[in-house]
């Protein structure tokens, strides 16, 4: 949520000059995305003003993965999905190098992300997620997640003896760092390309309509119902007090199934998948917690937020998905 | 350089709804300005897209001073100067309240700020500064600077016994915290409304033309030649190694005097005024230094940068202004 790479005006102009988008007119560093540097770029092209997002990928994004992410954006945009299309350089490339780091220019999409969705918005995001799953059935590139559940369990084990520094409840919620989830792991569920991080900040709306799904930099090949579970865990709790919002969960599930039906096996797996989704966010937040000084300057995301959601899903079984 | 206040989509829409600018289409938190929260806002109005900057003023900006700053913007814009005009609410106000903080909507101006200006750009900013001084001759509101030189000396005295923690050279450059400057202080120089902080980040250019002067939140009533000295100190040194760039200084002085001649008394005072300008930035940077933890997360601006410029001006007399 910051601009990590500082670029001079000359570097920005050189960057934009590699694309056939007109002359640079404005570049504002924006507080978007968690770990990359982003600018809202404006150009003048044949008298018209055009806007783009320029991203410089920082260390957390593997350069080798970028072709997957960028091809996915174009594939989805070609299929009419509300995702930003990549802009290609004058010689056809999707990626360039800025200060030795990979960088890309993508479409700017209108819309505002919602903090506390209403049922109509939750329904719309459910539909959009199903459409994303359907539109990638013919997307052949694959990418293995770097945050598989065994990896997340291993990440947590590194810090297990320091859980009390975060909250004494954490160790109680996560006996054996959540490894028990693997025993109940469902197999043979439908796979495909998943967003894997469709939080409210990554969805743009105008008048209740989804105008953008953004930040595909965790997208990977995976279990489609896991993506539903991630989205369920990310949207169905009040941002203020963390209370479960059944009407939002219901609207999300109903929206998704308007365009893609979940099989009985997928439905049955949702309670475990939702716990796994929570575990994934607990794991990265625990890691960030111990990597970030507690001086109040950088807001560390609280690992307990998703630990409590994990406990909720464990206790409530299939009810939250009805 | 951050968004300090987080606003929900509903709050953003309510904010924009107080203005007759159309419906909110996008809001991106931008890394602009030092101490306020800023968003680049896009609206749709009668089918056309319009862009604005929304600012929520944080603690460092005195709410009582805002009418001065905002009236100044409109006065300058009316006079044809390249500054953002304020947008008035449907009932004519320039300022509203968001989360108990004062906030304003201003025009978005195109342009990119330059890190290392060339002589043409320095000449253009000199002209723009002179025009700003001329255009405010009929601006009657006044504001006393909160960073007068006696105040800056007092700020420095608070930390004088800790100067060595920054750099052993600092105490040598600033005997008695720079109080000697007051003995040589020129009087009866022309006064007016000054920007007082016209650093390269606060000037936008398109194709070598100044398209915007921004961030007027240090503007005050003061000595016009002091504003020239501030701008000289801010523009005439290489950002990389701090070396004096005589061709930039020359172009700046020449640009300014194309539109407003400096009197002999003003010219004679420039060496002292430039040292005072440097002292002002040393003072706030020293204060920030001791208020900001040295953990590498927030980049503290180095007080030595302007301490060395102060020493340079003391040694070189009138030469840098020739």
Look-up of token digits 């404006």: A42
Of B10, B204, B295, the CB nearest to A293: B295
Q: Is residue A18 part of a domain?
A: yes
Same domain, B30 and B145: no
Same domain, B97 and B153: no
Same domain, A146 and A177: yes
| Domain CATH number, residue A22 | 3.30.200.20
Same domain, A95 and A160: no
Q: Is residue A112 part of a domain?
A: no
| Residue B3 scores a pLDDT above 70 | no
Domain containing A55: what range? 9-107
Same domain, A168 and A235: yes
Same domain, A215 and A90: no
Q: Cβ B116–A26 below 8 Å, yes or no?
A: no
Alpha helices in chain A (DSSP H): 9-17, 66-78, 119-135, 149-159, 163-166, 168-173, 180-183, 224-235, 246-259, 264-291, 303-316
pLDDT digits (tens, 9 = 90+) for B65-114: 999 999 999 999 999 999 999 999 988 999 999 988 999 999 999 999 99
Residue A298 pLDDT: 54
Q: Is residue A114 part of a domain?
A: no
Q: Which of A83, A107, A131 is the C-terminal boundary of a domain?
A: A107
Q: Cβ A29–B31 below 8 Å, yes or no?
A: yes
* pLDDT confidence bin for A79, thresholds 50/70/90: very high
Q: Is residue A302 part of a domain?
A: yes
Please state, in angstroms and rounded to a whole number, the distance separating the CA atoms of residues B182 and B151: 12
State the total domains in chain A.
2
Of B25, B42, B113, the CB nearest to A9: B113
Residues of A in contact with B294 (CB under 8 A): none
Structure tokens at B86: 């304020």
pLDDT digits (tens, 9 = 90+) for A261-278: 999 999 999 999 999 999
Chain A: closest CA distance from residue B102 (Å):
21
* ipTM exceeds 0.95: no
Q: Is residue A164 part of a domain?
A: yes
For B101-256, list the strands marked E by DSSP: 101-107, 191-194, 203-206, 209-213, 220-223
Residue A300 pLDDT: 74
Same domain, A179 and A284: yes
Average pLDDT (B275-301) is 83
Q: Cβ B115–A9 below 8 Å, yes or no?
A: yes
Please state, in angstroms and rounded to a whole number, the distance separating the CA atoms of residues B322 and B270: 10
Residue of A nearest to B13 (CA): A112
Q: Cβ A28–B29 below 8 Å, yes or no?
A: no
Q: Cβ B25–A111 below 8 Å, yes or no?
A: yes
């Amino acid at each position: 949520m910051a601009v990590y790479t500082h670029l001079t005006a000359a570097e920005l102009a050189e960057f934009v000059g590699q694309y056939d988008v007109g002359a640079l007119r404005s570049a504002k560093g924006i507080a978007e995305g968690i770990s990359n540097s982003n600018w809202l770029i404006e150009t003048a092209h044949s008298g018209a003003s055009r806007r783009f997002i320029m991203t410089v990928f920082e260390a957390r994004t593997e350069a080798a993965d970028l072709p997957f992410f960028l091809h996915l954006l174009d594939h989805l945009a070609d299929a009419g999905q509300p995702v930003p299309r990549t802009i290609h350089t004058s010689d056809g490339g999707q990626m360039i190098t800025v200060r030795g780091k990979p960088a890309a220019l993508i479409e700017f999409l209108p819309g505002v992300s919602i903090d506390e969705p209403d049922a109509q918005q939750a329904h719309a995001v459910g539909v959009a997620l199903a459409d994303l799953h359907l539109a990638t059935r013919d997307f052949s590139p694959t990418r293995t997640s770097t945050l598989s559940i065994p990896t997340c369990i291993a990440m947590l084990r590194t810090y297990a003896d320091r859980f009390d520094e975060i909250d004494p409840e954490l160790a109680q919620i996560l006996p054996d760092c959540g490894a028990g989830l693997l025993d109940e792991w469902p197999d043979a569920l439908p796979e495909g390309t998943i967003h894997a991080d469709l939080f409210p900040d990554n969805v743009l709306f105008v008048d209740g309509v989804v105008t953008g799904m953004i930040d595909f930099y965790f997208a990977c090949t995976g279990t489609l119902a896991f993506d539903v579970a991630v989205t369920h865990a990310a949207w169905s709790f009040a941002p203020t007090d963390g209370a479960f919002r059944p009407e939002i969960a219901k609207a999300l599930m109903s929206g998704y199934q308007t365009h893609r039906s979940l099989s009985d096996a997928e439905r049955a797996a949702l309670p475990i998948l939702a716990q796994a989704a929570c575990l994934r966010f607990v794991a990265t937040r625990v890691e960030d917690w111990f990597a970030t000084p507690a001086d109040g300057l950088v807001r560390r995301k609280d690992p307990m937020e998703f630990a409590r959601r994990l406990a909720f899903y464990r206790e409530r079984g299939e009810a939250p998905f009805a």
